[in-house]
Structure 1
């Protein structure tokens, strides 16, 4: 029966740690204002489009 108590305690501690990590990430995310988020999203989009357009590096495997 003691083993189950330790497993339960470990589960509770894991839940608390996960909740603390989520809360910390939420605080960091909310720190940005709308203009900063918009600028970051536009920059990430531009980088993604540039990767699609750019030719792949390395030797070509044409057949």
Structure 2
């Protein structure tokens, strides 16, 4: 049987961890490193980082 793992994901925008609903109305939560360290200290197996930014136009040329 596979073991359950805890893998939090930090949403990052402009170098800051943010919380938003459907990628809108972002609220800055804090810096990446202290939050990742806290998750590690609390027992996370891994920490994912989702970095996103705005495109001036679609990268596929739409």
Give the TM-score, by structure 1 length. Answer: 0.24
Q: Which has the higher contact order (CA 8 A, sep 6+)?
A: 2
Higher helix share: 1
